[in-house]
Amino acid sequence: MGHSTLFRVIASACAAGVAAYAVALAMGLPDIYLSGHGAGTLGGPTVDLDAIGIHLSLADAVVLIAALLAGGITWTELGGPR
Q: What's the pLDDT tens digit per position in 40-78? A: 777 777 777 788 888 888 888 899 999 999 999 999 999
- What digits encode the pLDDT tens for the residues 13-50? 999 999 999 999 998 888 888 888 777 777 777 777 78
The model's pTM is 0.80
Contact 14, 8 (CB under 8 A): no
- The pLDDT of residue 81 is 62
- What was the pLDDT predicted at 31? 83
Checking if the pLDDT of 10 tops 90, the result is yes
